[in-house]
Protein backbone atom coordinates (compact mmCIF):
# COMPACT_ATOMS: atom_id res chain seq x y z
CA UNK A 1 0.00 0.00 0.00
CA UNK A 2 2.74 2.45 1.00
CA UNK A 3 4.88 1.45 -1.97
CA UNK A 4 1.99 1.97 -4.41
CA UNK A 5 1.10 5.35 -2.88
CA UNK A 6 4.68 6.57 -3.18
CA UNK A 7 4.97 5.23 -6.74
CA UNK A 8 1.81 7.08 -7.75
CA UNK A 9 3.25 10.21 -6.14
CA UNK A 10 6.50 9.81 -8.10
CA UNK A 11 4.56 9.46 -11.33
CA UNK A 12 2.40 12.51 -10.58
CA UNK A 13 5.44 14.62 -9.75
CA UNK A 14 7.20 13.49 -12.91
CA UNK A 15 4.18 14.37 -15.05
CA UNK A 16 3.97 17.78 -13.36
CA UNK A 17 7.69 18.33 -14.01
CA UNK A 18 7.12 17.56 -17.68
CA UNK A 19 4.29 20.09 -17.84
CA UNK A 20 6.38 22.68 -16.02
CA UNK A 21 9.18 22.21 -18.57
CA UNK A 22 6.70 22.60 -21.43
CA UNK A 23 5.49 25.86 -19.87
CA UNK A 24 9.09 27.07 -19.39
CA UNK A 25 8.85 26.99 -15.59
CA UNK A 26 12.34 25.60 -15.22
CA UNK A 27 12.68 26.11 -11.46
CA UNK A 28 9.44 24.24 -10.88
CA UNK A 29 10.56 21.51 -13.26
CA UNK A 30 13.81 21.03 -11.33
CA UNK A 31 12.06 20.71 -7.98
CA UNK A 32 9.34 18.40 -9.24
CA UNK A 33 11.87 16.19 -11.03
CA UNK A 34 13.93 15.98 -7.86
CA UNK A 35 10.96 14.96 -5.73
CA UNK A 36 9.80 12.43 -8.34
CA UNK A 37 13.26 10.84 -8.05
CA UNK A 38 13.13 11.00 -4.25
CA UNK A 39 9.78 9.19 -4.10
CA UNK A 40 10.91 6.57 -6.63
CA UNK A 41 14.05 5.88 -4.61
CA UNK A 42 11.90 5.53 -1.49
CA UNK A 43 9.83 2.90 -3.33
CA UNK A 44 13.01 0.97 -4.12
CA UNK A 45 14.52 1.24 -0.64
CA UNK A 46 11.33 1.04 1.45
CA UNK A 47 11.12 2.86 4.75
CA UNK A 48 14.29 4.42 6.13
CA UNK A 49 16.07 2.78 9.05
CA UNK A 50 16.05 6.01 11.10
CA UNK A 51 12.46 7.16 10.59
CA UNK A 52 12.95 9.44 7.60
CA UNK A 53 15.21 9.66 4.58
CA UNK A 54 17.73 12.46 4.34
CA UNK A 55 18.15 13.94 0.87
CA UNK A 56 21.77 13.00 0.17
CA UNK A 57 21.47 9.78 2.17
CA UNK A 58 18.64 8.36 0.08
CA UNK A 59 20.60 8.94 -3.12
CA UNK A 60 23.72 7.35 -1.67
CA UNK A 61 21.78 4.33 -0.41
CA UNK A 62 19.93 3.93 -3.71
CA UNK A 63 23.17 4.06 -5.68
CA UNK A 64 24.73 1.32 -3.56
CA UNK A 65 22.40 -0.98 -5.51
CA UNK A 66 21.50 -3.25 -2.59
CA UNK A 67 17.75 -2.75 -3.12
CA UNK A 68 17.57 -5.31 -5.90
CA UNK A 69 18.52 -8.99 -6.09
CA UNK A 70 21.14 -9.61 -7.29
CA UNK A 71 22.56 -6.25 -6.19
CA UNK A 72 23.54 -3.76 -8.87
CA UNK A 73 27.21 -2.90 -9.06
CA UNK A 74 28.05 0.49 -7.59
CA UNK A 75 29.94 1.26 -10.80
CA UNK A 76 26.69 0.73 -12.73
CA UNK A 77 25.05 3.43 -10.63
CA UNK A 78 27.97 5.88 -10.39
CA UNK A 79 26.60 8.06 -13.20
CA UNK A 80 23.14 7.98 -11.66
CA UNK A 81 24.60 9.19 -8.37
CA UNK A 82 26.37 12.10 -10.08
CA UNK A 83 23.14 12.99 -11.89
CA UNK A 84 21.15 12.85 -8.66
CA UNK A 85 23.64 15.09 -6.88
CA UNK A 86 23.48 17.56 -9.78
CA UNK A 87 19.66 17.50 -9.58
CA UNK A 88 19.81 18.01 -5.81
CA UNK A 89 22.03 21.09 -6.29
CA UNK A 90 19.76 22.33 -9.07
CA UNK A 91 16.78 22.08 -6.72
CA UNK A 92 18.69 24.08 -4.13
CA UNK A 93 19.52 26.69 -6.76
CA UNK A 94 15.89 26.88 -7.84
CA UNK A 95 14.10 26.80 -4.49
CA UNK A 96 16.54 28.07 -1.89
CA UNK A 97 19.00 30.26 -3.74
CA UNK A 98 16.36 31.64 -6.16
CA UNK A 99 18.75 31.29 -9.07
CA UNK A 100 17.72 30.87 -12.68
CA UNK A 101 17.55 27.33 -14.04
CA UNK A 102 18.55 27.11 -17.71
CA UNK A 103 16.51 24.99 -20.09
CA UNK A 104 19.29 22.45 -20.58
CA UNK A 105 19.66 21.86 -16.85
CA UNK A 106 15.90 21.48 -16.43
CA UNK A 107 15.91 18.93 -19.24
CA UNK A 108 18.80 17.05 -17.62
CA UNK A 109 16.96 17.03 -14.31
CA UNK A 110 13.86 15.62 -15.96
CA UNK A 111 15.99 12.97 -17.66
CA UNK A 112 17.51 12.02 -14.31
CA UNK A 113 14.05 11.53 -12.83
CA UNK A 114 13.07 9.43 -15.83
CA UNK A 115 16.20 7.27 -15.50
CA UNK A 116 15.67 6.68 -11.77
CA UNK A 117 12.01 5.85 -12.28
CA UNK A 118 12.83 3.45 -15.12
CA UNK A 119 15.28 1.55 -12.93
CA UNK A 120 12.70 1.28 -10.17
CA UNK A 121 9.97 0.28 -12.64
CA UNK A 122 12.14 -2.49 -14.10
CA UNK A 123 13.60 -3.88 -10.88
CA UNK A 124 10.75 -3.38 -8.41
CA UNK A 125 7.71 -3.77 -10.63
CA UNK A 126 9.33 -5.99 -13.26
CA UNK A 127 8.18 -3.96 -16.22
CA UNK A 128 9.70 -1.74 -18.85
CA UNK A 129 8.12 1.50 -19.99
- Summarised one tens digit per residue, pLDDT across range 5-57 is 999 999 999 999 999 999 999 999 999 999 999 999 999 999 888 777 888 88
Q: What is the pLDDT of residue 56?
A: 82
Closest CA to 110 of 6, 37, 60: 37
CA gap 44, 7 in Å, rounded: 9
Q: Look at 65 and 126; give whichever has higher pLDDT.
A: 65
pLDDT, tens digit, 9 for 90 and up, residues 63-77: 999 999 899 888 989
Contacts of 72 (CB under 8 A, 6+ apart): 65, 123
Structural domains in the chain, CATH included, are 2-124 (1.20.120.330)
Q: What is the pLDDT of residue 121?
A: 96
Is residue 107 a contact partner of residue 22, using CB atoms and an 8 Å limit?
A: no
pLDDT band at 129 (very low <50, low <70, confident <90, very high): low
Q: What is the pLDDT of residue 49?
A: 80
* Other CB atoms within 10 A of residue 94 CB: 24
Rounded mean pLDDT, 96-112: 98
Amino acid sequence: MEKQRRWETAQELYQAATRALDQQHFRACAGLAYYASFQAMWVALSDPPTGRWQHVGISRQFCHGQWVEPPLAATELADVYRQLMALYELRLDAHYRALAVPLKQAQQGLQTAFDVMERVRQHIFGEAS
